[in-house]
Amino acid sequence: MQIYLDGQFVDSAEAKVSVFDHGLLYGDGVFEGIRLYDGNVFRLVEHLERLEYSAKAILLTLPLTRQELIDATCETCRRNKLRDGYIRLVVTRGVGDLGLAPWLCAKPTLFIIAGTIQLYPPEHYEKGLRIVTVPTRRIGPAALPPAIKSLNYLNNILGKIEARQAGALEGIMLNEQGYIAECTADNLFIAHRGVLHTPAGSQGALLGITRDTVFALAAELDLPVRETNLTRYDVWCADECFLTGSGAEVIPVVALDGREIGSGQPGPVTQRIRAAFRQRVTTDGVRL
């Protein structure tokens, strides 16, 4: 596997980052997870725009222009002879000393990995996920804005561990007010009486690219979408529930905390959204 690392392509065995890199020492950096479908880098421009916003929010200057990032991303896929896969683009603060001071980092570190991913087993896309609510609360927007897709993922990792301890592949994270923020790695939607509902970014939800795609697809399918406060009660009593994410795509949820949602089977709204999404992924983006 060839890795793009600071302007060069190197073999994965030689792709190394300094132990003094602040991305490693402090989680100081930003990233994007991007999908490749049949030679189409799905919504690459939107991913890079979010990367730019994340970097700006933490006062990190990206070392490449947007077009240079597009070129580097596509070339990484080509060099690995990928037509379908998953891309991880990471920018760290760079090498510094053992103190927090980011201004002592001379230049950012940038690397791009293009490989494969399987977040959930295939059968769950047909039968649905059974998820739980995890004890760890989502970090509040006043502490760390959820719109920043940073390398600080320990909050989500703790939630993922708790979900696994409960025998689930994914878990809902509540905010400090008890409203649903998101799942550990995915955004959440419910369908109720013909309307889609999802938590707002102000509740702790990452403004996901797949989430945004669902907004557009819902408009085309004449399905109203509302960003609103959601509780576990709302999910339990919903007609349907599904999760979205670059890794997860669109995946149905059929139970929360042992309570079946709707019929206990993936519902028609979820299936319509998923089918429309699968049609979109090969046309909306940047071709290799």
Give the fold, CATH level 3, of 123-285: D-amino Acid Aminotransferase; Chain A, domain 2 (3.20.10)
Average confidence (pLDDT) over 247-263: 97
Q: In this predicted structure, what is the pLDDT of residue 15?
A: 97
Based on the residue annotation, tell me whether 81 is a catalytic residue of this protein.
no
Contacts of 103 (CB under 8 A, 6+ apart): none
pLDDT tens-place string over residues 116-153: 988 899 999 999 999 999 999 999 988 999 999 999 99
The partner residues of 41 in beta bridges, in order of sequence, read 36, 286
Domain boundaries, the chain: 2-115, 123-285
> Could you identify the residue written with the tokens 């070339």?
75
Could you say which architecture CATH assigns to the domain 2-115? 2-Layer Sandwich (3.30)
Candidates 16, 56, 81, 149; catalytic one: 149
> Could you identify the residue written with the tokens 């890794």?
247
Q: Report how far residue 26's alpha carbon sits from residue 29's, in angstroms, rounded to the nearest whole number.
A: 9
Q: Report how far residue 204's alpha carbon sits from residue 115's, in angstroms, rounded to the nearest whole number.
A: 29
Longest alpha-carbon distance in the chain:
57
Q: In this predicted structure, what is the pLDDT of residue 117?
A: 85
Q: In this predicted structure, what is the pLDDT of residue 199?
A: 97
